[in-house]
Amino acid sequence: MQVIRALFDGHNIKPIENIKTQKITEVLVIFPNDAEKIAPAEARKLLRGSGKGHNLTKKLLESRLQDIKLERK
């Protein structure tokens, strides 16, 4: 998963950093909650599977294997 910073002007999302892909890619956009600001380190902990011991790599590899099986059908 690639993470980039971008600006939202109310209508368009404009990347601040280079995007390392040229193909059409599905993205997930997360807007911060203005009422409750939290530190970036705390936000990372809240992301599902981001903590130690969550076996994120194993889960991602298993998910990709399932995707490959579905693509072959």
Count how many domains the chain has.
Answer: 1
Q: Taking the model in full, what pTM does it have?
A: 0.37
- Please state the φ and ψ torsions of residue 39, each to the nearest 5 degrees: -70, 145
17 within a domain of the structure (yes/no): yes
* Structural domain range at position 36: 6-72
- Mean pLDDT, the chain, rounded, equals 78
Write the pLDDT tens digit of every residue in 4-31: 888 888 888 888 888 888 888 888 888 7
| Residues 62, 17: Cα–Cα separation, whole Å | 30
Task: Report the sign of the C-alpha dihedral through residues 16, 57, 67, 43, in that order.
Answer: negative
Q: Is residue 51 part of a domain?
A: yes
Residue-level pLDDT at 54 = 65
In-domain check, residue 1: no
- Is there a domain that residue 47 lies in? yes
65, part of any domain? yes
